[in-house]
Amino acid sequence: MFWKKKKEAAVSSTVTPPVAKAEKLAEPQKIPEMVGRHLIDKLKMDVVWVWDLKAVLRKRAGGKPGFDIRVYDEVEMDDKKKKVKDYTSLDGRPDLMLYEGWFDPQTKQIELKDLVTQDYTILNEAEILQKIEGLKEPGSTVFFYLAGGSASGGPFRRGAGIVELNPDYPGAKQKKYNIYRADVKTTEPVDKGQKAYEADKAKDAAKWIKNNHFKPWWYRTLAK
């Protein structure tokens, strides 16, 4: 009986360790000076554009020095009606970011992954036309990244233009091609999007695409 009571007392005296509090993450801020200088001096980005960017930070995991950082364009977020509260707001959304990585103000080390300016080829109107004329099956589609318009995402930040060989053509009041604006997530259109234009001739569809298919002024041409 004495042994049993001692064991019960030992169990009852066990103390539950306190639960660690979650880190309170900082709100969005202007891009840090060190990161901005890196974009301008090393990556040759436009000065005015860089200092208009916003960033969200958090302490690096595992006791590593410095901060994790995600960089985005606040104007673009407003266009998309997106709200960034802290670093985690952009989890799983590389299509909303321009750069992601880490930096250490003490050692002056910085590593950034460019999430936008990959070496995408801009097609001329003849090349666009060739791809559109290659559509043979009703309902088949081809898409092109856009830098103009109201859609979002993709390398030029304005989604994609999707040209569809109208499955209802040649029905009453139906044109041969439907053209849609669609949001892009990572590299692919999210869905068909919203219809923006109709055309009977492939060359008219190609012209519409070309008017919106170009490298925006801030797009960096990669060094060869």
The residue with tokens 């990669």 is 222
Instruction: Let me know: does 142 contact 162? Beta carbons within 8 Å.
Output: yes
What is d(CA 217, CA 174) in angstroms, rounded to the nearest whole number?
37
Q: How confident is the model at residue 24 (pLDDT cuts 50, 70, 90)?
A: confident
The residue with tokens 């020095």 is 65
Q: How confident is the model at residue 224 (pLDDT cuts 50, 70, 90)?
A: very low
CB atoms inside a 10 Å sphere around CB 125? 14
Average pLDDT, the chain: 85
pLDDT at 13 over 60: no
What is d(CA 138, CA 123) in angstroms, rounded to the nearest whole number?
24
Tokens standing for residue 36: 């901005």
What is d(CA 140, CA 137) in angstroms, rounded to the nearest whole number?
5
If we measure between CA atoms, which residue out of 132, 131, 111, 123 comes closest to residue 43?
111
Counting other chains too, the contacts that 136-143 makes at CB distance below 8 Å and 24 or more residues apart are 136/165, 137/165, 138/165, 138/166, 138/167, 138/169, 139/164, 139/165, 139/167, 140/164, 140/165, 141/165, 141/192, 143/182, 143/189
HSE-CB for 167 with a 13 A CA cutoff: 3
Q: How confident is the model at residue 222 (pLDDT cuts 50, 70, 90)?
A: very low
pLDDT at 1 over 50: no
pLDDT per position as a tens digit, 143-191: 999 988 888 877 787 889 999 999 999 999 999 999 999 988 767 898 8
| Better-scored residue on pLDDT, 182 or 10 | 182
Q: How confident is the model at residue 117 (pLDDT cuts 50, 70, 90)?
A: low
Query: What are φ and ψ of residue 85, in 5° steps?
Result: -100, -40
> What are the residue boundaries of the structural domains of the chain, listed by start?
29-114, 125-212
Q: What is the mean pLDDT of residues 45-53?
A: 83
Q: What is the DSSP code (8-state) at residue 125?
A: H
| Better-scored residue on pLDDT, 32 or 78 | 32
Distance of CA 171 to the CA centre of its chain: 39
